[in-house]
Structure 1
Amino acid sequence: MKRALVTGGSGGIGAAICRRLAADGHHVFVHANRGLDRAAAVVAAIRAAGNSAEAVAFDVTDRAATAAALDTLLEGGAIQILVNNAGIHDDAVFPGMSGEQWDRVIDVSLNGFFNVTQPLTLPMIRTRWGRIVNVSSVAAVAGNRGQVNYSAAKGALHAASKSLALELASRGISVNVVAPGIIETGMSEGAFDADAVKRLVPMQRAGQPEEVAELVAFLASDKAAYISGQVISINGALI
């Protein structure tokens, strides 16, 4: 049984990823920041299905707190599957964007990636097997009005993932990016009505969190061992 950590695991996409990885037989750490009750609910559902999970809570932007939490997890062995899914939106057109809006989004998506991934890398290397999947966005591939901060954070994540893939390839560790388009979650609810989705997405529907989870689970499997350094879009032919 491999041990997996999914940051932002209590949200719509994150919860679907947690359920899917647990169904594959992994022990899943469902991460939340302040919403530990939601993470606990995801864990309860996973356990009710006969699979293995537990909830963990820490702020990915707090480097010291993250390191302490990860040290505790590593006492039980290496984390061999890491899904960096934590991220936030704080949208505004760039001329009206505050420094705080810029910093908050960069801090969670990009600095959070470093704070979580770096401490887990060496223990993963020692096992000679690992999967790192970073969840990005179509905004990083094509841009999006009002999301310069979000696009910048996720675009930097693409570049970091490609470089890290080169560093870890000889150690049996893959690093890939999954870039969803419009996915039907609480975060996207209200942002796009049905008519807008039909107009924007050639498949004329929003994606489901479970569809993203299937892609992540494949990249986290032995079957995807030769796929690394890739940005894989899942967006209904949006771009």
Structure 2
Amino acid sequence: MAKRIALCCLFLVACSWCSWRSPAMALRRVLVTGGNKGIGRALCRQLAADHGFYVLLGSRDPGRGEEAVKSILEKSPECQDRLEFLPLDVASDASVKAAAETVREKFGTMYAIVNNAGVGFQNSMADTLNINTYGPKRVCDHFLPLLDPKEGRIVNTASASGPNYNAGAPAAEREMLTNPDVTWEELSATMEKVSKDPGGRQPYGFSKACLIAYTMMLAREKPELKINAMTPGYILTDITRGMGATKPPEEGTKAAIYCLTGDLKGNGWYYGSDALRSPIDRYRAPGDPPYEGP
């Protein structure tokens, strides 16, 4: 009888623990960098409200980060207890390291990373690469140890500008950027050289082509994880303002959500804005048949 009572007490304690533990501990946790505006903010809201994630909204500006969380909660109160701001500047190794340590101490593990932070067409080659390519690598370097080793996912926000760049790149450079066996040494050496002498290259397209190559490399090195790149499409954001884009940020999340939640068949792939696999050496329009090459 005493043993039965003890077991019942343990069961009640376990049930009580499950009832009061925070949603942050019960839900799958995902980090979205650059989550304070545009597609990043829309993605944070959708993941928390519609897909049952606990979202860490990364932002380099604390004021904008806190305001983004407040704005999301005002419009979608169901996100309460599913969303919080995380200070994180992808351009700073110290900032990324501190953010990863905060997450490790508070949660221990994570489900996914969405490398969304980026800059557009008005920056120098060096600055563009520092944010758009080296930035995601910094985040991966520090947050990879926190990802679930069996279910973890990484989603890198690239752009159709990447495949478009590859289509017209010098032959040797195109071969390197589209090689599934590309190494970080090859990639970083090319970026360092191009940073010093862009040679007429368009920084945004080059940086996104490099990000796709890095995605392939990382997926090859970490086959136990799901690591892919995607484009949100031609969406009206600060990057595309004044360039004819009209679709709201809420329409630029389909591919990212698929890469986070879908039954993915491959790894190290690049997905179009319609969440279908696309080639990395040429443009594939949304609605066209998916790419089925190697």
Q: What band does the TM-score fall into relative to the shorter chain? A: 0.7 to 0.9
Residues 255 and 272 in structure 2, CA contact (< 8 A), matched pair in contact too: no
Aligned-partner residue type, residue 60 of structure 1? V
Per the alignment, residue 21 of structure 1 pairs with 47
Query: Which residue in 1 is equivalent to 2:8?
Result: none
Please say if residues 90 and 96 of structure 2, whose CA atoms lie closer than 8 Å, have aligned partners that are also in contact: yes
Which of 137, 148, 151 is 2:202 aligned to? 148
Moved over 4 A (4+): 144-147
Number of equivalences: 214
Paired with 1:65 and 1:182, the residues of 2 have a C-alpha distance of 30
Classify 1:81/1:189 alpha carbon distance in 2 versus 1 (closer, same or farther; 3 Å): same
Match of 2:113 among 48, 67, 82: 82
Alignment of 1:62-211 (within 5 A): 62-75=92-105, 76-91=107-122, 101-126=124-149, 128-143=150-165, 148-169=202-223, 171=224, 173-192=225-244, 206-211=246-251
TM-score relative to the length of structure 1: 0.80
Question: Are the equivalent residues in 1 in contact too, given 2:60–2:88 (CA < 8 A)?
Answer: yes
Distance in structure 2 (CA, Å) of the matches to 1:39 and 1:65 = 15
Give the C-alpha shift of residue 147 in structure 1: 6.6
With over 3 angstroms needed to count, the CA separation of the structure-2 counterparts of 1:73 and 1:210, relative to structure 1, is same
1:49 aligns with 2:77: yes
- Output one character per residue of 1:137-189: Cα deviation in whole Å (capped at 9) or x when no partner: 111111399871111111111011112112222x2x21111123321223322
Larger gyration radius, structure 1 or structure 2: 2
CA contact (8 A) 1:16 1:213 kept: yes
Contact 2:232–2:254 (CA under 8 A) maintained in structure 1: no
Q: Which runs of 5+ in 1 are unaligned?
A: 93-100, 198-205
| 1:91 and 1:147 in contact (8 A); partners too | no
* Counterpart code for 1:136: A
Helix, strand or coil for the counterpart of 2:215? Answer: helix
Secondary structure, aligned partner of 1:176: strand
d(CA) in 2 for partners of 1:231, 1:66:
25
| Alpha-carbon offset, residue 56 of structure 1 | 1.7
CA contact (8 A) 1:219 1:227 kept: no
Q: Is the 8 A contact 1:78 1:120 kept in 2?
A: no
State the match for 2:268 in structure 1. 229
Q: Residue type matched to 1:106 in 2?
A: L
Could you say what the CA RMSD is over the residues aligned between the two structures, in angstroms? 2.5
How far the C-alpha of 1:123 sits from its partner, in A, is 2.4
Q: Which has the higher contact order (CA 8 A, sep 6+)?
A: 1
Tell which deviates more after alignment, 207-216 or 110-119: 207-216
One-letter amino acid of the counterpart of residue 148, structure 1: Q
Q: Which runs of 5+ in 2 are unaligned?
A: 1-26, 169-199, 275-283, 289-294
Counterpart-to-counterpart distance in 2, 1:220 and 1:136: 15
**1:20/1:214 contact within 8 Å kept:** no
SS of the equivalent of 1:60 reads coil
Separation (CA, whole Å) in 2 of partners of 1:89 and 1:214: 21
Distance 2:232 2:259 in 1: 14
Going by fraction, where is strand more abundant, 1 or 2?
Answer: 1
Query: Given the two structures, how large is their TM-score scaled by the length of structure 2?
Result: 0.66
State the identity %.
Answer: 29
1:214 aligns with 2:254: yes
Q: What SS is found at the alignment partner of 1:143?
A: helix
